[in-house]
Chain A
Amino acid sequence: NAGVTQTPKFRVLKTGQSMTLLCAQDMNHEYMYWYRQDPGMGLRLIHYSVGEGTTAKGEVPDGYNVSRLKKQNFLLGLESAAPSQTSVYFCASSQDHPSSYNEQFFGPGTRLTVL
């Protein structure tokens, strides 16, 4: 079991460029999440998905889009990168709804720098 994997691990973009971050999980989890982590701010939820074909906005969705065409994959897109999107991005998955006392499993993160 690989758990949750993320690609790429590092990326440098210029302002205005676009990119897609890929998250994959092999635990057959229904819920998947994208977070960003900035110093002193913990983890903030960008978008999440409660199942294949569904997506929903989290706390900080502006400037990002997501898609979940397959249950095991959750993609995060930046259409026009801005320096404010410089951050470490984490993908996570859980079997069920957060209120069901589920554990989230996290990927290793993607460090993105926007110049």
Chain B
Amino acid sequence: TQLLEQSPQFLSIQEGENLTVYCNSSSVFSSLQWYRQEPGEGPVLLVTVVTGGEVKKLKRLTFQFGDARKDSSLHITAAQPGDTGLYLCAGAGNQFYFGTGTSLTVIP
């Protein structure tokens, strides 16, 4: 049973377009993290959100934690080919629970 469901599973867009990735759960987490993973490498942390309703920005990436701390979204503005990768959300409880992943391809 996957505690965290991500949508969409695959996303292919043109350079310059905007996109949103969703991470949903029925469980409450103390914090939620977003990671990006490139082929042949391990995931790398992008951001940690802690407070319900919190919004964090990292250049063209905007992360939001749901008010009830059960879900989160990642919005990318004006996507670039360098954004290509697998995006994973992870909820923190007694352990880290990872989402199913969103594979993003940005076409030049």
Contacts and interface: CB of A to CB of B under 8 A. Distances in A.
B42 A99 contact: no
21 contacts: A4-B42, A33-B96, A35-B98, A41-B2, A41-B100, A42-B2, A42-B4, A42-B6, A90-B42, A99-B92, A99-B94, A101-B92, A103-B33, A103-B45, A103-B48, A104-B33, A104-B45, A106-B44, A107-B42, A108-B40, A108-B42
Given A4-B42, A40-B9, A108-B40, A45 B88 contact: no
A99 B92 CA distance: 6
Interface residues of B, number: 27
Between B95, B99, B101, the greatest number of chain A beta carbons within 10 A of the residue's beta carbon is seen for B95
Between B4, B43, B48, B101, the greatest number of chain A beta carbons within 10 A of the residue's beta carbon is seen for B43
Interface of A: 4, 33, 35, 40-45, 48, 58-59, 90, 92, 98-99, 101, 103-104, 106-109
A82 B48 CA distance: 36
Contacts, number: 66
Contacts of A104: 33, 43, 45, 90, 96
B86 to A, nearest CB: 9
A76 to B, nearest CB: 15
A101 B94 CA distance: 12
A2 B94 CA distance: 27
A45 B95 contact: yes
Interface string B38-56: 0011111100101000000
